[in-house]
Amino acid sequence: MVKAYVLVSTKPGTSEEVTKNLREAREVKGVVAADSVFGRYDVIITVEVADLPELSQLIYKVIEKIPNVVKTETCIVLFSEGGK
């Protein structure tokens, strides 16, 4: 199991719209949560997938194709207190 946080930059003023689209994408296997945030990034997505190829597919074929997503940065979890 691979857990990661995908940090998303959006076009100005579109983070709520992108978050809504991402929450709808939760139906897509792997998207656990999507939250609009203040700071360097506009949205943080929590994903859990079986392996790295599945993570790549989720990012390139789903997340980066959502309108108004400008760029992403992915942080792969090395250790989690929950043991995952």
Structural domain total, the chain: 1
For residue 21, how many other CB atoms are within 10 A of its CB?
Answer: 19
7 occurs within a structural domain: yes
Give the whole-angstrom CA distance, residue 48 versus residue 77. Answer: 10
CATH number for position 67: 3.30.70.920
Q: What does the block give as tokens for 32?
A: 């656990």
**pLDDT at residue 27 in the model:** 65
The chain-wide mean pLDDT, for the chain, equals: 91
Range of the domain at 65: 2-76
Inform me whether the pLDDT recorded for 53 exceeds 60: yes
Inform me whether the pLDDT recorded for 56 exceeds 90: yes
68 occurs within a structural domain: yes
71 occurs within a structural domain: yes
Inform me whether the pLDDT recorded for 67 exceeds 60: yes
pTM (two decimals): 0.90
Report the candidate in 42, 38, 6, 51 with the shortest Cα–Cα distance to residue 25. Answer: 6
Amino acid letter, 49: V
**pLDDT at residue 81 in the model:** 82
